[in-house]
Amino acid sequence: MCLIALSYQQQKGFPLVLLANRDELHQRETSRLAFWPDAPEILGGKDLEAGGSWLAINRNGRFAVLTNLRRPGQTKGPRSRGLIIKDYLTSNLSTEAFVEQLSNDRALYSGFNIVLGDFSTDCQLWYLSSETTPRELAPGNYAISNEVLGDNWPKTEKLKQGMVESLSQELNEKALMALLENRQQAEKSQLPNTGVGEEMEQLLSPIFIANGIYGTRCSTYLAINHKGFLRMREHSWDVQQQLSDNRSVEFLINAEDDSFLCSDALQNNLDCCSID
């Protein structure tokens, strides 16, 4: 996952609204949005090479989203960063205790940003990176890419501003998802210098990265309302940057049964996101 924008306790009736693009090598094997067969309490996409995720939530309202820090030449950590999300969603530790433990174990992972929280009772979000101390996020609008929170790039500012403007009118899922398809590259004068060279900086500068080797693999919308009702939509993109899958899942956090909706998947004759 390489780009996140979230509105935290800013939208009336919705403690969390999130937009995210996952950028990855097209050849890396991935499963699409679904409840995991080996951990049916978890909903999200799954990295089939390492077993983790970039964005997932569990039935009890624990949520996490992750991006990599762009650090050319960094030593690869012994554990996949995506496993942090799986660990959190299956942990019995409180969120604060998990964050403290993760802070102590940061050396196990290559550079990362993570936002995680628990929406089962109180709304609470934490931010941690491999280079910064943990902090609880205050209500606000945030955007993160492949640099630490607060170090803004053109695409983080563009997505955050677009999200704020869209939410100032009403919660419009279609309009918000459209923001994630912006393929306009940044001006050369605005490019960050992360050590990958100007040509690569420009290639990676759009909100949506259109490239046949490494690019945007999926776009995700997540909204949680004040009653604990959750809606998650995922658009998957093929190597030609064409929409290859469109599915959504809805469920109630802490529900006593397995009631949920997957109407878009059914309508498009796709496999419904079922709970085993």
Q: What pLDDT sits at residue 4?
A: 98
Q: Please state the φ and ψ torsions of residue 155, each to the nearest 5 degrees.
A: -75, -30
Q: What pLDDT sits at residue 1?
A: 61
> 161-220 pLDDT, tens per residue?
999 999 999 899 999 999 999 999 999 999 999 999 999 999 999 999 999 999 999 999
Strands (DSSP E) contained in the chain are 3-11, 14-25, 30-36, 39-47, 55-58, 62-68, 112-118, 124-129, 135-136, 140-144, 214-224, 229-237, 243-252, 260-261
Q: Three-class SS of residue 231?
A: strand
Interatomic CA distance for residues 136 and 116, integer angstroms: 10
Residues in Cβ contact with 239 at an 8 Å cutoff, skipping those fewer than 6 apart: 26, 212
Residues in the chain with pLDDT values less than 70: 1, 257-276
**Of 3.90.600.10, 3.40.718.10, 3.60.60.10, 3.90.78.10, which CATH number belongs to 3-267?**
3.60.60.10
Buried b (16+ CB within 10 A) or exposed e, 67-76: bbbbeeeeee
Q: What pLDDT sits at residue 258?
A: 65
Domain map (residue ranges) of the chain: 3-267
β-bridge partners, 17 = 7, 223
Q: What pLDDT sits at residue 206?
A: 98
CA distances, 93 to each of 80, 97, 98, 132, 230 (Å)? 20, 6, 6, 21, 23
Neighbours of 232 (CB within 10 A): 22
Q: What pLDDT sits at residue 122?
A: 73
Length of the chain as a residue count: 276
